[in-house]
A and B are shown apart, each in its own frame.
Chain A
C-alpha cells in the first residue's frame, strides 16, 4: 500500500544551518517571520509548524557564542499567536521537562489546544546540566541518569491533568507529589500530540512508550530504516502498533532548476554555513581546546584533543555526540589526508551536507522513496533561510507529491491528530 507522507516546517534554528548572512534573511524575532513560514506551511498543507526552545545562550571558550543566530522568542507565546493567523496547521513546540512543573505546563498546553482548536503538539525534551540551571530556581538539581525518569513522570502527570479537565487530581511518584484542582476543561485533542527527539536507548524507550511522533536525525536510507525498525519494534511491549508512532527525520534541502544547478547552489550554501571562523569553532568543540590560532584554510591541528569532560562549549547538545573525540579526530585526519581538505573543507565535508539536493522532481522522488521504503514516515524540513526558505518547496515539490497521490491535497480534519492519522 502506498504510504501518505507527513511534512512539517521547522523554524530555522540557532546553529550554523541557518544562513543569516543571506541578503534574503529576515528577523528571528519579529512576528512577521513566524507568520510567513507558518502560512507557507499551511498553504502547502503541511502537518505542523515546529519551534525549538533555548533556555541559556550558548557559550564557547567562556564567551557567548556569536557566529550563529542568537536569540529566540518564547515557544508558547509564539505558538498561541500563530494560532490566530492559521486555521489548520499543527503548532508544535519544544518545552523542557527539567526546568518546568507539570501543573503549569499542562495548563499551558491545554490552553494552547483550546486556543488553536486542537492543533497543539509538545516536543518533550530533557536536560540536566547546571549551566542551564543557573537561570532557574533549582539550579542543576537533576542527575543525568534521572532525566528520562523525570521526563516520563512529568509527562504522565501532565496526562493525568489533561484527562482530569476541571476537577480534583492527585499524583504521587518518585518525582512529583501533587494534588488539588485542575481548571482547564478537556481540550479538543484531549492530550496534545507528543513529540520526542531523544536518541539514546532511554530516549528511544521513552518515545516508544509515550510519543505520537519522533523527531529523528536519521534521514538517509540505511540509517533511517535501521532507526525506523528499531523504534517501531519497541512499540509492541507497550501495547502499541507501528501506525501509532510517526517517524519524522529532520531534513535540509536545496532546490534548483536542474540537478546540476541544485548541486552548485548547495556547494555555495555549505560555504555560507561554514565560514572559516565557524570551522575553527566547530573543531574546538571536538578538540575541546582553543584553536583560534589556526588558519581555517590550512591543515588540521596536529595536537591531540583534550579528553574528559568537554569544557569549551556550553549549552550545545551536539557536543555530546562526539563521544570518542580521539577516534573522531583520527577519522577526520584520514579523511582530510585522502581528499586533501583544509580545516574548512573538512568541516563542510563532515557536517554540512544537505539531505535533499536536486530539481523539484528529484527531491520529490527522493522524499517519496525514503518514505515508501520505511526509512521515515515523512520529514521535518529545516529551511536555511528565514523566513522564505520554504516558499520554493511549497510551490514546486508539494504539487508533485500531490500529483503522485502521496501527499494530501487538503486537510481532512481539524486537528493535528487528524493530520498525523493518530488517535
Chain B
C-alpha cells in the first residue's frame, strides 16, 4: 500500500465550447488543482468533431505548471518523424510534462481521408515500430550535443548527433531528429495495447510489467479503487464528469491520506516515478 496512487482523466471534445481555448484551459487547470498525474486528450482521424489533440495540449501547456499532458495521436496515417518532433516540442514547451497516447485507425472508411493505403493489417505491430522510431529520434541528440564553442565556431558537437537508420516493414527513417532531446528524455508513451507502452490502459493488471492504468467509466467507490490497486493496477484513468473527480473523489481520497495534496515533481515521469532513461546512443 506504500506506492502512491496515480490518477488521470480522459478529456473529450464535446459540446460547442470544446472548440475554444478557454474550455480546455479551464478543464486542465481544474484537473491540475486536483493534483492529477495527467490528462489525456482524446483524438482520432475519424471525422468525429474535435480539435487536434497535440495542438490543444500545446495551447494549454504555458498556462499550467505541473500536470502531465498526454494527447492522443493516431499512428496509422501519420509520420513518425513529425510526431516525434511535435511531442519533443510539447515536452520543451511544458518543461517535461508531455506524454503521448498512440492509437490506430483500423477502419477503411477513415483510410479514405488519406487515400494512401488499403491494407490495414497488423496495425499494433506498426504502432510498436512507430514507438521505436519515436524513442530513437528522441535519443538522436545527446543531452549535451549543443556546445556553442566560439573558439572553433561549432554550434553542436556532431559526434553527439546520431542517425537512427530505422528500417521496418512499414517505413524507414534516417534521422537524426531536427529537435533536440526532450527534457524527460522519453516522454512516456501510453496505449491501450501492451508491448511497447510505458503506460498501458487495460482491464487486466497483468498484461504488462509497465504501469497499467485501469480505464474507469464513471466514479467508483473508494473501496473498489483500493481493491483494484491490490490487484496490481498502478492507477486509474477516469472517463467521467470532471467535477465529480476533482470535487468529489479527490477530496475524499485526500482526506483518507490516499492521494497527494500537492505535486512533489514537476515532470510527468516524476509524477509516475519513472527515472529519466539513459540515451541509447550515448
Contact = CB atoms under 8 A, between A and B. Distances in A.
A108 to B, nearest CB: 5
Contact of B112 (A21, A114, A178, A183): A178
A322 interface: no
A153 B56 CA distance: 27
Interface in A90-113: 99-101, 103-104, 107-108, 110-112
A29 interface: yes
Interface stretch (A42-50, A80-88, A189-197): A80-88
Nearest to B150: A21
B93 A176 contact: no
A68 B148 CA distance: 9
Given A71-B178, A81-B61, A182 B47 contact: yes
A114 B171 CA distance: 33
A136 B79 contact: yes
B90 to A, nearest CB: 5
B174 A111 contact: no
A69 B155 contact: yes
Q: How large is the interface on A (under 10, 10 to 19, 20 to 34, 35 or more residues)?
A: 35 or more
A406 B148 CA distance: 40
Given A80-B55, A166-B49, A70 B155 contact: yes
Q: How large is the interface on B (under 10, 10 to 19, 20 to 34, 35 or more residues)?
A: 35 or more
Q: Which of A77, A103, A275 has the most CB of B within 10 A?
A: A77
B167 to A, nearest CB: 11
Given A29-B180, A73-B89, A84 B21 contact: yes
Interface string A159-183: 0000000100000000011111111
Interface of A: 20-21, 29-31, 35, 54-57, 63-64, 66-74, 76-78, 80-81, 83-85, 99-101, 103-104, 107-108, 110-112, 114-117, 134-137, 139, 166, 176-185, 275-278
Given A66-B157, A111-B56, A114-B19, 7 more contacts: A63-B158, A67-B154, A70-B146, A72-B179, A73-B85, A80-B55, A84-B59
Interface of B: 19-21, 25, 45-52, 54-56, 58-63, 77-79, 81-82, 85-86, 88-90, 92-93, 95, 109-110, 112-116, 141, 146, 148, 150, 152-158, 161, 170-176, 178-180
17 contacts: A54-B178, A55-B81, A63-B158, A67-B154, A68-B155, A77-B85, A78-B89, A80-B55, A81-B62, A103-B114, A104-B77, A107-B51, A114-B51, A137-B79, A176-B115, A178-B113, A183-B50
